[in-house]
Amino acid sequence: MKRRGFIKKATAATAGAFMAPYILPSGRLFAATGARVVDHVVFCLFAGGVRNLESVHKADGNLMPNTLVGNESISTDIASGVQSLGQVGTTRLQEMGTLYKEFRFAQGPTGHFSGHSSVMTGVYNLNDINIRQRPQTPTVFEYYRKHSDPAANALNAWWVSNALGPYPALNYSSHPEYGALYGANYIQPASIISNAGYQALGNPKTFTQNQNNLVGQMRGFFDNNFESQTIAGSAGISNAKSDIPEVQQFLLDSLQEAAGGQYENPWGLGGMSPDMFNIFFAEKVIQRFQPELLVVNMQDVDVCHGNFTSYANNLMRADYALAHLWQTIQSTAGMANNTIMIALPEHGRNLLPNTVIDPYGRYALDHTNDDMSREIFCLVVGPNGKVVQNQVISQVQGQSIDVVPTIAKILGFYDDVSGFLPGQPLNAALA
């Protein structure tokens, strides 16, 4: 049997390795847990590089009408290139929480992976980053799973990204005291959940016990003869044995629904952009598992390197998707009124343009460490009484590395990790 075919069948049949219950390295069977603000956090990286000028300062009109209060008209020169998608609900997200208009990505290279890594680890990377390596400091998933209740298994932690490249590396770090044992379930749905994915993975073979034993022997053989391993701690995280059928069924259902055309236009907008599809699949995770911690990103606005007007149009789509995500949270039993959503770009974009001009006469923008590329916003949305409602903080306050301690405080384990984190919880947003 060829190795490729073996991996395909084995993966579909087992949907992950087994993991026994564990005793924490500290020697405690149960981690200390503080009081929670709510039981769920959804963290959305409104990413791709978004400039405050086009978002919260509305220099070209309100390009985020589902998020921001205001009906400012889109600039006439680009208006025909920006499609309004309408309102998801009657209330803007800004009104349901606290908006930090002058947040900062204060240190480190203003690159996408650097920004993602900093905000998901709570530590700035001040040196060049090797995108082929995992972060050296723990991710928010590892802090959550190690220092929260033992019930915080892998089904409660998900990382859904709209691109591959280095992003799978952010589901756990190389830190020797954390790592894969505490990582999140990771998926990049656009590369798997499709008709082509169904053709490859949608009809898995069900192994007998004897066949499973043979698979285990073959896995051991390959692990001993190839660089990549299938054991926890090297290749990826493991779900508990009892959770594996649920993960397998979720993936099979998703593949079958995709093959049946149910994912082509589920929001009735005429089609799904990559950002929308990624948010849509994160919503499927929410509806199936009600995770306590989910991180999802968007990146379509990064077309701004070559087309400013498309950037503005994709900003409008990202805004719609963010509001749709919140609407799904509020319509999901267990998460409605028990979830705080945090959204922010990983970094901004430059003040000065590059030399590329789009069909509407606008110059394109890169992100190369100038002051404006460090200016971002942060939105914290949640239930009244848990999050301060309809609050706008206009002075410079808060930075990227504050998100991890904020999540830790919301989910009740900040006292266990505060000594490891340079940032502070965003207390001004919490009621």
| Tokens (6 digits) for 178 | 């954390």
pLDDT tens-digit readout, 42-101: 999 999 999 999 999 999 999 999 999 999 999 999 999 999 999 999 999 999 999 999
Pairing relation of β-strands 375-381 and 185-187? unpaired
Looking up tokens 């952009």, which residue turns up? 273
Whether residue 238 is predicted with pLDDT greater than 80 in this model: the reply is no
| Mean predicted confidence (pLDDT) in 334-355 | 98
Q: Band of the pLDDT at 204, cuts 50, 70, 90? A: confident
Confirm if 429 and 405 have CB atoms less than 8 A apart.
no
| Mean predicted confidence (pLDDT) in 207-211 | 85
Residue 8: its pLDDT value, please?
Answer: 36
- Exposure string of 64-78, with b = 16+ CB inside 10 Å and e = fewer, is bbbbbeeeeebbeeb
Cα 218 from chain centre: 34
Residue 9: its pLDDT value, please?
Answer: 37
Residue 385: its pLDDT value, please?
Answer: 97
Residue 197: its pLDDT value, please?
Answer: 81
Whether residue 26 is predicted with pLDDT greater than 60 in this model: the reply is no
Whether residue 243 is predicted with pLDDT greater than 60 in this model: the reply is yes
Highest mean pLDDT among 165-174, 180-189, 231-240, 405-414: 405-414
Whether residue 431 is predicted with pLDDT greater than 80 in this model: the reply is yes
pLDDT tens-digit readout, 87-146: 999 999 999 999 999 999 999 999 999 999 999 999 998 876 677 788 999 999 999 999
Q: Band of the pLDDT at 151, cuts 50, 70, 90? A: low
Q: Of all residues in the chain, what percent carry a pLDDT higher than 70?
A: 88
61 vs 315: CA distance, rounded Å: 12
- Exposure string of 40-52, with b = 16+ CB inside 10 Å and e = fewer, is bbbbbbbbbbbbb
Tell me the residue length of the chain: 431
199 vs 178: CA distance, rounded Å: 36
Q: What angle do CA 385, 388, 391 make, to 5 degrees?
A: 155
Residue 14: its pLDDT value, please?
Answer: 33
If you write DSSP's letter for every residue of 233-258 in order, what string do you get? TTTB----GGGHHHHHHHHHHHHHHH
366 vs 110: CA distance, rounded Å: 10
Q: Helix, strand, coil % (nearest 5) of the chain? A: 40, 15, 50
| Mean predicted confidence (pLDDT) in 22-40 | 59
Higher pLDDT, 92 or 16: 92
1 vs 15: CA distance, rounded Å: 20
Whether residue 234 is predicted with pLDDT greater than 60 in this model: the reply is no
pTM passes above 0.85: yes
206 vs 128: CA distance, rounded Å: 46
Residue 224: its pLDDT value, please?
Answer: 73
Q: Of all residues in the chain, what percent carry a pLDDT higher than 90?
A: 70
Give the chain's mean pLDDT.
88
Q: Which of 23-32, 219-228, 303-312 has the lowest mean pLDDT?
A: 23-32
First to last CA, the chain: 60
Residue 386: its pLDDT value, please?
Answer: 98
Query: 3-class DSSP state for residue 298?
Result: strand
Q: Band of the pLDDT at 358, cuts 50, 70, 90? A: very high
381 vs 343: CA distance, rounded Å: 8
Residue 233: its pLDDT value, please?
Answer: 42
